[in-house]
Amino acid sequence: MNLGVRSFLCALALAGSICAQQTDAMNQIEGIVQLPPARPAPAIASRYKIKAGAIAKPEPPRAVVYLDGLSTGKPTNVRTNQILQKGYQFSPAILPIQVGSSVQFPNRDDDYHHVFSYSKAREFDLGRYLKTEEPRPIVFNKPGVVKVGCEIHDHMRAVILVLNTPCFTVTDSQGKYRLLLQDVPPGKYTLKAWINEKITREQPVEIKPGASLRIDFAEK
């Protein structure tokens, strides 16, 4: 292969790489969600008899950002997820999933945990189990908010947000998010930022081919 042909092929490959990066960057919505202040760590009951330093700090507040109004028919983002019990905390403390997905709750601590929920969207009780035991996965077939707790350790809390849309993401601890719009057809939708059960912010959006959007959610 002569030098001229090689240079042309290299330039073509570089151009393709740049175009791919630009395409990926364009098919997204990004912004910042103003998050509520972190709550102080709850007092831990002395009856737990947990070793000093074994309890991890609770995760900082985060929000779930998702595209509402996306009609996909059969769920396309169904998968098995995990919420760990580690450091006597649930991790992640907030988990968005699409309807039809399942969640496993592995125990990574040295003591028993007892995972349960009395939420209308999904009620379940896994009972007590150690890290040597594997609890059954829980399937979530109804949209809504599912609050998860540990019957042994009252301070442990998690939320599963079961959504009808496959297009969602979680902010970082600073409220920044990037929502990829892969396979989202052009049209008008509602972009929502779920903060907690009492606070959901939303803005109308119009998705156009090759359009990149910047949408921030400030506190009202």
Q: 43 lies in a domain?
A: no
Number of domains in the chain: 1
CATH of the domain at 81: 2.60.40.420
Q: 127 lies in a domain?
A: yes
Q: 167 lies in a domain?
A: yes
Residue 70, pLDDT score: 84
Give me the residue label for tokens 């969600």. Answer: 33
For residue 14, what is the enclosing H or E element?
helix 3-26
Q: What is the pLDDT of residues 72-99, one digit of tens each?
A: 667 777 889 999 999 999 999 999 999 9
Q: 6 lies in a domain?
A: no
Residue 9, pLDDT score: 42
Q: 164 lies in a domain?
A: yes
Q: What is the pLDDT of residues 132-184, one digit of tens each?
A: 999 999 999 999 999 999 999 988 999 999 999 999 999 999 999 999 998 89
Residue 15, pLDDT score: 38
Q: 42 lies in a domain?
A: no
Domain that holds residue 203: 23-36+54-208
Q: What is the mean pLDDT of residues 22-34?
A: 75
| CA 125, chain centre distance (Å) | 22
Residue 187 has phi, psi (to 5 degrees) of 155, 180
Residue 170, pLDDT score: 98
